[in-house]
Structure 1
Amino acid sequence: MNALLLDDEPLALRSLEHQLKRFEDVKIIGTFSLPVQAVSAAEELQPDVAFVDIDMPEMNGIQVAEKLQMIHESIAIVFVTAYEEYAVKAFELNAVDYVLKPVQPHRLEQTVARLQQETMNRRASVMKEAEEPEPAVRVQCAGTMNVFGHDGEPLSWRTSKSRELFAYLVYKRGQPVRKEVLLELLWPDSDEKKGFTHMYTTIYRLRKTFESASLNIKLLNSGDGYWLSTEGLQVDMQEWEEAIGKLPPLSVESADDYHRLLDDYPGDYLNEQDYIWTHGERQRLRSLCYRQGMQLCRFWASEGQGDKAVDMYEGLQRQYPHSEEIYEALIEHYVNEDHHSLAQQQYELLSGMMRREYDSEPSETAKRLFNSIRPLVD
């Protein structure tokens, strides 16, 4: 494997180079003491691994690693540091390993062994992708957040924060999220240092969970934020919304497609998780389903297909029991069809719902409709 070395201390750099030369599988293609030179050379040299000192002036090793992985995400990173506190940060960047200074021969052997295993895994993955496309990863947002493995079983989440962090990145649909936003959202009661530690550890655990399940889910990072690559993800709620958006104008020919998609509504967005940030998205998707359903009901009624309209109205009423508009539509339909007892039943249901939920009375429209048949049902 081709290795690039970076350390601003000449003695430490020479010592690491000397020790790595003992390994037949390691070929040193460049040694650098200046971060800018190392990053620039990496674009041409394309190393397999970079051994990077963390504590350097102007640009520290964390920043260098981020730039290297932006050049090519397959570059393995090994941090070399005198401070063990950087270990968590190394995990955040999905580094293969970190070693403490002064570098001990036996510890370096462990690192090289890990690199060799990573190289074998990467080659096997490339061969597998060439032979067989990577299957899409199914992500469930209806009801609860689940990610399904290749065996069809949902993955186990290490912590509740792991699940919520992944759910939020899925919700952002590939948009970068600043680290400060994640801290405020997920660890609002932690001080900054503890919050960052929690965040880095959670990111690391997520990556390891997906890696152990052989799922090609990429959590990416830049200097100030994270985002989720949406390539290869099948997210139920997003696919449903996209399908709704692709429907042609409502007509006799397309009505059944509308009905099918409305029946296929996956379920309310993450309603089993009490995440504050989900409320707006849940309501938006519910409103989209509601509007499409009401549009289809009115269309069927206008086309003289009253039975279909009533069935759809009743289904929506079960799903949206506090919508006065649905009760009014059913009352009007039954009045027009001279089903006075059914109209009265809907009016009484509406009156009870309005008292319980809103401490109010039915609208003037509903009252007018009911009063038009009142003499006939009294």
Structure 2
Amino acid sequence: MRAIIIDQDVLMLEILENMIQEIGGVQVIGKFTTPHRGLIEITKIQPDILFLDIEMSDISSLDIAKETKETFPDMDIVFLSTYKQYTVQASKLQATDYLVKPYHEEALSETIIRLRSRRGSMKTTLARQMVCCFKKLQFKYYGRNSEVLDVKWRTPSSRALFAFLIHHHGQFIEKDVLLEEFWPGEEIKEGYSKLYSTIYQIRKTLKSIGFNITIISSKGSYRLELNDVLLDIKEWEQGIEEFPFVNEDTISKHKEICRLYKGDYLEEENYLWAESKKSRMRIQWSHYLKKVAKYYLSTENYSEAIILYLQIQEILPFKEESYFVLMQLYDSFGDRYSVEEQYRLLRNMLYKEYCVEPNEMVQKWYRDWKSRRVREEYKVEELVYSK
């Protein structure tokens, strides 16, 4: 089972991770002291378990848990707390368990046994075969309890040629074009021998994993047919086209569309022929995220808006807009540490890339915000001393 831990207390976070490793049965694949950073990873990798500190300052953990459950109903949530007073709220949110700090090995062991038992008894539903090209080339069963397959390629050439055929799926690609792309400079006879051998290896690999993908040879060309196998980039593009408007009726579908995009198109494969499509899809992705984020802003769902703008920041780190929007969103939660962090990140980025300061509007907003924070803290001190 894979888990993510979100806890603003660094020491308790480290202690819990070490205890989980000693007990075994759960792999901690991410740990975060910043809730919204943790939520981005949850959206990307969809762990089995979320260990969530319920007493984080400046942000509602209950809201985070509620949104996580709505988006990933099968994810187990284990609340972490110094007190037992939140057990009722945890129960209402269908939390799997509740751990009280400081942690005891026996209680944590029982929690892990309970999690293993629950996940082992979960009913699986029919999942569709899918080829994934976002971030890297993968095969998976798409649906509830998605499973990524461990595919063994005979050679790097067979993997690269399959990716190229997927890139042009449904189109005939001349064999001479493939020779020029993958075996330039080879003698014709030797080049064709390597091409035929690689196509044979691809077909054998597809058969070994049971994916119904065919490669048709016709008149000196090859064409790859997906048949009933899904392609993540195709599902993503069709989803955006099918649901052009973001509203209360379509937001659940847009959440599903957002989850498909795990990273740039074949970004970890470093194929030169994929660069143009990668750039185009990145721009399309950023526009799409902004559209969905605007809906969340209009409905005052600031937690979801923060998650999307953090993703936009990852995609377009040299644009000033995301930093400023995030500063304002964090301010709405009263999360002053994250406001200051975003301003610091913005200043560092602008100085490093352009040798300039943030624009005057952003600087003025930050100065006004700092002044307001000072006044609020002064009022709190006055109230404390007056008592």
TM-aligned CA deviation for residue 298 of structure 1: 1.9
| CA–CA distance in structure 2, aligned partners of residues 363 and 194 of structure 1 | 60
**Is it true that 1:175 corresponds to 2:175 in the alignment?**
no
1:220 alignment partner, SS class: strand
| Aligned with residue 291 of structure 1, among 265, 287, 303 | 287
- Higher RCO by CA contacts (8 Å cutoff, separation 6 or greater): 2
Conserved? CA contact 1:236–1:266, under 8 Å: no
| Match in the other structure for 1:220 | 216
| Match in the other structure for 1:278 | 274
CA pair 369-180 structure 1, distance change in 2 beyond 3 A: farther
CA pair 372-166 structure 1, distance change in 2 beyond 3 A: same
| CA–CA distance in structure 1, aligned partners of residues 267 and 371 of structure 2 | 45
TM-aligned CA deviation for residue 176 of structure 1: 1.4
CA pair 376-188 structure 1, distance change in 2 beyond 3 A: farther
CA pair 192-250 structure 1, distance change in 2 beyond 3 A: same
Structure 1: runs of 5+ lacking an equivalent? 1-134
CA pair 143-315 structure 1, distance change in 2 beyond 3 A: closer
**Is it true that 1:356 corresponds to 2:356 in the alignment?**
no
The 5 Å alignment of 1:139-288 reads 139-147=131-139, 153-211=149-207, 215-288=211-284
2:272 alignment partner, SS class: coil
TM-aligned CA deviation for residue 376 of structure 1: 5.0
| Match in the other structure for 1:331 | 327
Amino acid of the structure 2 residue aligned with 1:138 = M
Amino acid of the structure 2 residue aligned with 1:139 = V
Conserved? CA contact 2:138–2:148, under 8 Å: no
C-alpha deviations, 1:307-362, integer Å up to 9, x for none? 44234323443565444221122235567888777544422210112233455443
TM-aligned CA deviation for residue 297 of structure 1: 1.7
C-alpha deviations, 1:126-178, integer Å up to 9, x for none? xxxxxxxxx965323233323469x9744321111111111111111211122
Conserved? CA contact 1:170–1:228, under 8 Å: yes
1:301 alignment partner, SS class: helix
| CA–CA distance in structure 2, aligned partners of residues 137 and 376 of structure 1 | 54
2:342 alignment partner, SS class: helix
TM-aligned CA deviation for residue 274 of structure 1: 1.7
CA pair 342-285 structure 1, distance change in 2 beyond 3 A: same
| Match in the other structure for 1:60 | none
Amino acid of the structure 2 residue aligned with 1:291 = H
| CA–CA distance in structure 1, aligned partners of residues 295 and 329 of structure 2 | 13
The 5 Å alignment of 1:128-139 reads 137-139=129-131
| CA–CA distance in structure 1, aligned partners of residues 137 and 311 of structure 2 | 25
Conserved? CA contact 2:212–2:227, under 8 Å: no
| CA–CA distance in structure 1, aligned partners of residues 338 and 152 of structure 2 | 49
1:277 alignment partner, SS class: helix
**Is it true that 1:301 corresponds to 2:308 in the alignment?**
no
Larger radius of gyration: 1
Amino acid of the structure 1 residue aligned with 2:179 = L
C-alpha deviations, 1:223-275, integer Å up to 9, x for none? 23221112122222322332232225112332333234313434432222121
C-alpha deviations, 1:153-205, integer Å up to 9, x for none? 44321111111111111111211122232222212343444333322221233
Conserved? CA contact 2:136–2:266, under 8 Å: yes
Amino acid of the structure 2 residue aligned with 1:205 = Q
CA RMSD of aligned residues (A): 3.5
The 5 Å alignment of 1:89-108 reads none
CA pair 368-280 structure 1, distance change in 2 beyond 3 A: farther
| CA–CA distance in structure 2, aligned partners of residues 239 and 195 of structure 1 | 35
Conserved? CA contact 1:341–1:377, under 8 Å: no
| CA–CA distance in structure 1, aligned partners of residues 172 and 252 of structure 2 | 38
Conserved? CA contact 1:335–1:369, under 8 Å: no
